[in-house]
């Protein structure tokens, strides 16, 4: 008998590549025409599966990518991804052969890093990180002399220079002022470099919220992560949208076991749930090792047959329990939606994030490696992958 994906896997992630395309075009509509769209696909494309996401992006004309680590960059190249790949994080100088071999772009994270890269005597492409006030990576805006020195290094081919905003998502007056201060100090440095005749290469400072809230900076490129996946970092940000985003990811599992418990019986580790009457409960094979936070124990919901049902007891490493007493005709094998649409009910990742006391970015990037990522369109075809 032929089987669908849903017969084959205990739990899985559905990836809607049409939604991805929609979001990219929507975000691109905020750009001036010469501005480049750099897709941030670090952390396995925020849990969506970096290779498949990047292949689709290549197909729709995106040719600029950012990742966090060397191994993430190599994975993309080994799977045929074309275009620029910028490593945003630190890479040891000893790895520069690989940067060259795979034709990658390395970020220079400070002056000492630049020196160590230059001493390898391997010609590589780099972008220089500038710390304009986040105080994470980069040469500070006061290290003008050191920045200039890096331009004289023979083996470092400087193709860009960038900074990162730390409160561009916040709307308080002090956050807006701080962002403006970061933008001003970054562009002062850029203008000084240009005045002295340096070719800065691509200048960039905006990520998703930088583009949404500060769209008129006229940079050469924007680095877009979370919003490309159709998601805001937190629930409050869903208001005041200037663009329409469609979530790319759904998270599904299924009921594998149903039983009834009597009044006063308890469920799970710690016996944190006690039933007030006879209850019909179901076991769902997904747990905190798959990225479902234990904060959702006795608190979160999932969707079954288009109805919201509560998670009861503590979430285990590989399984969780739900109360299906109020739903008729539930049987083993029925689909459980944790993130996404079922019938008229939609549970968004922002809700899961809020209940897990974190942001969407963390929820998505924590989705475990053992969950298969499946293109939405093949999810219900009659075959096993
Ligand atoms: C992760 C990251 C981004 C992407 O940020 P989003 O808010 O997800 O768009 C951009 N730039 C840098 C330096 C990053 O580390």
Q: 224 C-alpha vs ligand 1 centroid, how far in Å?
A: 6
Strand partners for 309: 302
Please identify which residue in the block is written with the tokens 């896997």: 9
The pLDDT tens digits of the residues spanning 108-123 come to 999 999 999 999 999 9
Q: What is the distance in A from the centroid of ligand 1 to the CA of 164?
A: 8
Indicate which atom in ligand 1 lies nearest the CA of residue 164.
13
Treating both helix axes as pointing N-terminal to C-terminal, what angle do 111-119 and 144-151 enclose, rounded to 10 degrees? 20
Q: How far is the CA of 269 from the centre of ligand 1 (A)?
A: 38
Band of residue 242 on the pLDDT scale cut at 50, 70, 90: confident
Structure confidence at residue 8 as a pLDDT band (50, 70, 90): confident
C-alpha 121 – ligand 1 centre gap (Å): 30
Q: Are strands 320-323 and 345-347 parallel, antiparallel or unpaired?
A: unpaired
Q: Which of 30, 36, 40 to mutate to test the pocket of ligand 1 (most atoms within 8 A of CB)?
A: 40
Q: Which 3 state secondary structure label does DSSP give 200?
A: coil
Report the percentage of the chain scoring pLDDT > 90: 91
- For the ranges 39-43, 254-258, 266-270, 366-370, the lowest mean pLDDT is seen at 366-370
Query: How remote is the CA of residue 270 from the centroid of ligand 1, in Å?
Result: 39
Q: Give the nearest ligand 1 atom to 129 CA.
A: 13
Residue ranges with strand state E in 76-145: 84-87, 105-108, 124-131, 139-140
Q: What is the pLDDT of residues 132-142, one digit of tens each?
A: 999 999 999 99
**Domains detected in the chain:** 17-229 (3.20.20.10), 249-383 (2.40.37.10)
Q: Which atom of ligand 1 is nearest to the CA of 209?
A: 7
Per-residue burial over 95-119, b if 16 or more Cβ lie within 10 Å, else e, is: bbebbbeeebbbbbbbbebbbebbe
Q: Which of 3, 181, 263, 269 is catalytic?
A: 269
| 3-class DSSP state of 2 | coil
Best of 88, 167, 206 to mutate for ligand 1, by most ligand atoms within 8 A of CB?
Answer: 88
Q: Are 127 and 183 in contact (CB under 8 A)?
A: no
Mean pLDDT of 192-213: 97
254 in catalytic set: no
Above pLDDT 70, what percent of the chain? 96
Beta bridge mates, 27 = none
For the cut 60, the answer to whether the pLDDT of residue 316 exceeds it is yes
Provide the pLDDT confidence category of residue 3 given band limits of 50, 70 and 90.
Answer: low
Q: How many CB atoms lie within 10 A of CB 20?
A: 26
Handedness of CA 92, 96, 102, 104 (dihedral sign): positive
Q: Which atom number of ligand 1 is nearest to the Cα of residue 207?
A: 9
pLDDT of residue 382: 62
Question: Contact at 8 Å (CB) between 14 and 376?
Answer: yes
3-class secondary-structure state, position 281? strand
So what's the pLDDT on residue 241? 65
Residue minimizing CA distance to atom 7 of ligand 1: 208
SS (H, E, C) 319-359: CEEEECCCCCCCCCCCEEEEEEEECCEEECHHHHHHHCCCC
pLDDT band at 317 (very low <50, low <70, confident <90, very high): very high
The model's confidence at residue 238, banded by pLDDT at 50, 70 and 90, is confident
Q: What pTM was estimated for this model as a whole?
A: 0.96
42 is a catalytic site residue: yes
- Ligand 1: residues whose CB is within 6 Å? 40, 42, 88, 164, 207-209, 223-226
Tokens 């929820």, residue? Answer: 363
DSSP state of 208: H
Nearest-atom number in ligand 1 for the CA of 224 is 9
Pocket of ligand 1, candidates 30, 46, 207: which has the most ligand atoms within 8 Å of its Cβ, to mutate? 207
CB count in 10 Å sphere of residue 376: 17
Decide if 126 contacts 105 (C-beta within 8 A).
Answer: yes
């Amino acid at each position: 008998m032929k089987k669908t994906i849903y017969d084959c896997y205990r739990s899985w992630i559905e990836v809607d590549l049409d939604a991805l395309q929609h979001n990219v075009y929507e975000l691109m509509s905020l750009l001036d025409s010469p501005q480049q769209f750099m897709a941030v696909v670090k952390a396995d494309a925020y849990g969506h599966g970096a290779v498949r996401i990047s292949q689709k992006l290549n197909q729709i004309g995106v040719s600029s990518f950012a990742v966090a680590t060397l191994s993430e960059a190599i994975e993309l190249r080994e799977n045929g991804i074309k275009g620029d790949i910028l490593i945003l994080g630190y890479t040891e100088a000893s790895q520069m052969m690989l940067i060259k071999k795979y034709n990658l772009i390395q970020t220079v994270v400070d002056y000492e890093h630049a020196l160590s890269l230059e001493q390898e005597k391997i010609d590589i492409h780099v972008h220089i990180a500038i710390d304009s006030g986040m105080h994470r990576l980069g040469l500070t805006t006061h290290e003008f002399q050191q920045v200039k020195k890096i331009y004289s290094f023979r083996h470092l081919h400087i193709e860009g220079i960038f900074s990162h905003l730390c409160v561009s998502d916040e709307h308080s007056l002090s956050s807006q002022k701080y962002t403006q201060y970061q933008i001003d100090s970054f562009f002062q440095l850029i203008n000084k470099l240009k005045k002295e005749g340096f070719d800065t290469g691509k200048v960039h400072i905006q990520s998703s919220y930088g583009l949404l809230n500060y769209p008129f900076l006229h940079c050469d490129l924007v680095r877009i992560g979370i919003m490309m996946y159709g998601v805001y970092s937190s629930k409050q940000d869903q208001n005041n949208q200037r663009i329409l985003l469609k979530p790319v990811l759904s998270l599904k599992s299924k009921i594998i076991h149903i039983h009834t418990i009597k009044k006063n019986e308890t469920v799970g580790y710690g016996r944190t749930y006690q039933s007030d009457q006879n209850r019909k409960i179901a076991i769902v094979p997904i747990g905190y090792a798959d990225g479902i936070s234990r904060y959702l124990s006795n608190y979160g919901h999932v969707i079954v047959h288009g109805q919201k049902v509560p998670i009861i007891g503590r979430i285990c490493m590989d399984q969780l329990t739900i109360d299906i007493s109020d739903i008729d005709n539930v049987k083993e094998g029925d689909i459980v939606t944790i993130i996404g649409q079922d019938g008229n009910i939609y549970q968004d990742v922002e809700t899961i994030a809020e209940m897990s006391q974190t942001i969407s970015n963390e929820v998505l990037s924590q989705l475990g490696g053992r969950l298969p990522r499946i293109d939405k369109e093949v999810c219900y075809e009659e075959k096993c992958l």
